[in-house]
Structure 1
Amino acid sequence: MRPVAHPPTPGWKTEALETLRLAGPLALANVLQMLTYAIDVMFIARLGPDELAASALAVALFGLVLWSLQSLTGAVAPIMAAEIGARGPALRPVRRAVRMALWLSVIVSIAGMGICLMIGPLMQLTGQEPHIAALASSYMNVLVWSAPLMIVAGVQRNFVAALGRPVFATVITALGIGVNALGNYAFIFGNLGAPEMGLPGAAVATFITSVAIAAMYAAAIRLDPRLHRYHIMGFFWRPDWKRLGEIVRIGTPIAITVLAEAGVFGAAAFLMGRLGGLELAAHTVALNLAAFAFQVPFGVGQAATIRVGYFYGARDADGMGRAGWTGIMMGTGFMALTAATMIAIPEALLALYIDPGDPANARLTVIATGFLAIAAAFQLSDGVQAVAAGALRGLKDTRVPMWIAIFSYWVPGFGLAAGLGLGTPLGGKGVWIGLATGLTFAAVLLLWRWHRREKLDLTLRSRQAAPR
């Protein structure tokens, strides 16, 4: 077999443009996805506080399960990128990888649905009010049917992004917002000839939206010549156990990492709840702002996984380093801007959720502003850890980063949050200092591992792994 000729390593400017071209649409799609959830809250809030509380509890469980399972199947992204980088267009290897990721989506979604349907006993175990638990169960019983489609859509999104069509993710997510809003309007309140279903109607809207999004991805893949030539549904019944095992091996640590990070923030909410309702409300508002900001470095991290993966497949060590460092600088630079914004105009940001000028919100505003000041301090750490983790995934390095995440978030992170929050006068600020500490530990350790990637032999790719 003749050696494959690869293009020269791009310069820093070219790499920055390529990363931006990929990261921009993905980051925007992430932000739009959060807006989709915000629309659900807006409609459900009109039903009353009980329905809003019930939906929040259900979405907390559903979101945690969904995010972790999407992260598991999302391991197909670095695999595809490496195959394309090694011998583009790599039609057969990419098709097999996507096929097995879709198989895995169906398999794990069944398990995920089973976990979500245990919400009733979970509500009892955590001491929720019976009528709230009943509402949450009725909502979840419909919502779970969206899980398989959402996980499949995640694989479709990774496919179009790896093939250089990330803008499809942005457009499809934006269209999904419209479908979701229309579905909520129709099925919650009985408009447009639809039955009035109340809270379960919001779940129906989510299901319809998930169907629409998966269908739009399928249509885009079918109609775009570059994507269609992969025929990802071709020979769909044929197993490739080796490829399936590779996705599970790489993806399982990513899913556990997601559970570790999401779990510590969920535990922080329980700590805030012990400090008082006002602290919990301020925590929720401030954390939501930080979550919106995080969507950009998260998108940059997704782009870094693909860009590093291309060069990993091509065995181009300089390209891997340039792609990873470019993403890290972009993510950190953006978070520096968000940190400055949180310090400079905190009340303007809080005005997106509450009226800081209302005397009734005076105490809430003071507490939330204090939390934002700490959030500004850990913006840089959050950006670094998100992109560094993405870059390491491009090298298919997920196991050690998983242990870094578990240690960072739960030992110095949650340990300090609980100690300072419950054992000192710092209260809620102590909880946020703990969260900031955990993110900083993760950022430093992941950045250290990325810096030492060559000495740790992370950039080596065996020739046996190259596609035939």
Structure 2
Amino acid sequence: MQKVATTYPEHARAVWALGMPLILSNLAQFAIHITDTVMLGWYDVTALAASTLAGTMFFVTFLVGAGFAQALTPMVAAASEAGDEVQVRRVTRMGLWLSIFYGLAVTIPFFWAEDILIAIGQDPDVSAMAHIYLQIVIWQMIPALIVMAMKSFLAALEHTSIILWGTIGTAIMNIFVNYALIFGNWGAPELGIRGAAIASLAVTLVTVAVLVIYTLRTLPQYQLFRNFWRSDTEIMARVFRLGWPIGLTSLAEGGLFSASAVMMGWIGAIELAAHGIAIQLASLTFMVHIGFSQAATVRAGRALGRMDETGLRTGGIAAIGMSAFFAMITSVIFLAFPETLVSLFIDPAEPERATLLRVGASLVMVAALFQLVDGAQVIALGLLRGVQDTTVPMVMATVSYWIIGLPVSYVLGFTLGYGAVGLWLGLVIGLLAAAILLLWRFWGRSVCIAPRAA
């Protein structure tokens, strides 16, 4: 049994110790996407725009299913705190089941990706190239969901080093495979956007193997895959009830950014490519906040298991404070060096380089505005998930993102004519609304006596 933190410094150290490997693994995971963006940006601007569009479509679909995997973190943490190894196995097995079932169900629409993209107003050439990419990465859906479930299981048990080093290893692998297959280096065929898709699929399959082998060798007491095909309807229902609001909350947020990508495509291919670059930079810093949020979920879950209201709130303050401090640093960097950051993603010989730099830099400066609110809302979500409160936060987030943020983006971008910058200012307002509502939800009541299956 671990020593229970009682003071703010102890809680801060605990959040840092648990969160740092998760942050670094998130950054390493994100490096895979950064590699695709940078190398495709060097290869061809149309390929970059297509991968932005295709990646958005894939990621939005993935987010819903990932809710079942994320539900494992508070449930496994609570069972582990109680010393119930059988419950840990039952919960994780049903989380994997739900992830696989979901992955099978969502593959079908991707075979008509080009028609769907054209129907929502995207450029035909970009849509055709995005379709090529998606026909490969669709086979990544189930492995990616399994990776998410295994990472949630291991994080809940505070086995974060394997998550970190495994992700770093696969990120390095992705760089070499991308370099070979996108550009045709080292005797490999020049596959362009197809090469990026193949690299992503290969990296995900390797990650599944690494995490499964580690679990079997290091945590044999849980016998995680024993009688894997045995159904457990009671536990499946609990994971489903907790997971579907998490998935829809993630969909609401991811969908907000995806809708902004669609609207950006209505403005033009250059704006869409600039949006893709700025999103990569903002998402890179967001990985840090996600790591703190994941740590907050584990810490809050254990506090709930002890019915430790004081520890829960002190730990919440620690997580929020650390996230806010990092947000202030990144805001300064985004405001001080916007063009320098954007230039990292653009080939010096690109004919549209000047326009891309101008549009991208303006979006990065807007992204500086939502660093603090974006961090605050994701930390609040992590704390609420830790106490297994997911349904009301889902409603709050959906209202903030879609009833407030998206309409404001449209009005500012198109009705008032502010274009790409207006679209992003709407995102800031939606995230601010989410941060206010979710923090109010966490601090406004006695969360330790909240319904656990909310």
Q: TM-score, normalised by structure 2?
A: 0.90
Q: Indicate yes or no: 2:338 matched with 1:346.
A: yes
2:115 corresponds to: 121
Post-superposition offset of 1:193: 7.0
Structure 2 residue identity aligned to 1:460: I
- 1:96 shift after superposition: 0.7
Measured in 2, the distance between the counterparts of 1:429 and 1:129 equals 21
Q: Does the CA-based 8 Å contact 1:313-1:461 persist in structure 2? A: no
Give how far 1:8 is off: 4.6
Structure 1 CA distance for aligned equivalents of residues 415 and 436 of structure 2: 27
Distance 1:133 1:419, change over 3 A: closer
Match of 2:140 among 139, 146, 164: 146
Tell whether the 8 Å contact from 2:332 to 2:368 is kept in structure 1 after alignment: yes
* Aligned twin of 1:59: 55
**Superposition map of 1:246-285 within 5 A:** 246-285=238-277
Distance 1:418 1:129 in 2: 19
- Of 131, 145, 152, which residue of structure 2 is paired with 1:137? 131
Unaligned runs of 5+ in 2: none
d(CA) in 2 for partners of 1:352, 1:247: 42
Aligned mates of 2:352, 2:56 — CA distance in 1: 28
Partner Cα separation in structure 2 for residue 254 and residue 335 of structure 1? 24
Q: In the aligned structure 2, how far is the partner of 1:433 from the partner of 1:206?
A: 32
Of 90, 100, 104 in structure 2, the residue corresponding to residue 106 of structure 1 is: 100
Query: Residue 201 and residue 418 in structure 1: after superposition, are their counterparts in 2 closer, same or farther (change >3 A)?
Result: closer
2:322 is equivalent to residue 330 of structure 1:
yes
**2:199 paired residue number:** 205
Which structure would you say has the larger Rg? 1
Q: Match for residue 77 of structure 1? A: 73
- How much is the aligned-residue C-alpha RMSD, in angstroms? 2.9
> What is the aligned counterpart of 1:19 among 11, 15, 21?
15
1:245 aligns with 2:237: yes
Alignment-derived partner of residue 422 in structure 1: 414
Q: Which amino acid in 2 is paired with 1:10? A: T
298, 308, 321: which one aligns with 2:300:
308
Partner residue of 1:448? 440
Residues 100 and 133 (structure 1 numbering): CA distance in 2 closer, same or farther, change over 3 Å?
same
**What are the superposed Cα offsets for residues 394-421 of structure 1, whole Å, 9 maximum, x if unpaired?**
0111111111111111122112211122
Which stretch shifts more, 417-426 or 182-191? 182-191
SS in 1 for 2:226: coil
Aligned equivalents of 1:49 and 1:284: distance in 2?
Answer: 11
The code of the aligned residue for 1:60 comes to T
**Do the aligned partners of residues 410 and 164 (structure 1) sit closer, same or farther apart at CA in structure 2, a change above 3 Å counting?**
same
State the distance in 1 between where 2:351 and 2:315 align. 50
Q: Distance in 2 between matches of 1:68 and 1:402?
A: 12
Q: Distance in 2 between matches of 1:348 and 1:47?
A: 20
The amino acid that maps onto 1:145 is W
User: Are the equivalent residues in 2 in contact too, given 1:84–1:313 (CA < 8 A)?
Assistant: no
Give TM-score, length-normalised by structure 1.
0.88
CA distance in structure 2 between the aligned counterparts of 1:337 and 1:239, rounded to whole angstroms: 48
Contact 1:281 1:364 in 2 (8 A): yes
Which amino acid in structure 2 is aligned with residue 217 of structure 1? Answer: L
Say whether the 8 Å CA contact 1:279–1:428 is kept in structure 2: yes
Q: Identify unmatched segments of 5+ residues in structure 1.
A: none
SS in 2 for 1:459: helix
How far did residue 131 of structure 1 move?
A: 5.5
- Where does residue 372 of structure 1 map in the other structure? 364
Amino acid at match of 2:449: L
Equivalent residues of 1:162, 1:306 under 8 A apart: yes
Q: How many residues align?
A: 453
Q: Is the Cα–Cα contact under 8 Å of residues 9 and 316 in structure 1 kept in the other structure?
A: no
Which amino acid is the alignment partner of residue 298 of structure 1? I
- Work out whether residues 49 and 126 of structure 2, in 8 Å CA contact, stay in contact via their aligned partners in 1: yes
Q: Which moved more, 1:435-444 or 1:118-127?
A: 118-127
Q: Report how far residue 294 of structure 1 moved.
A: 0.9
1:215 to 177, 198, 209: 209
The structural deviation recorded for 1:40 is: 2.5
Tell me the equivalent position of 1:432. Answer: 424
CA, structure 1 residues 266+312, in 2 after alignment: closer, same or farther (shift >3 Å)?
A: same
1:140 shift after superposition: 2.2
Report the CA distance shift for 1:417/1:142 in structure 2 as closer, same or farther (over 3 A): closer
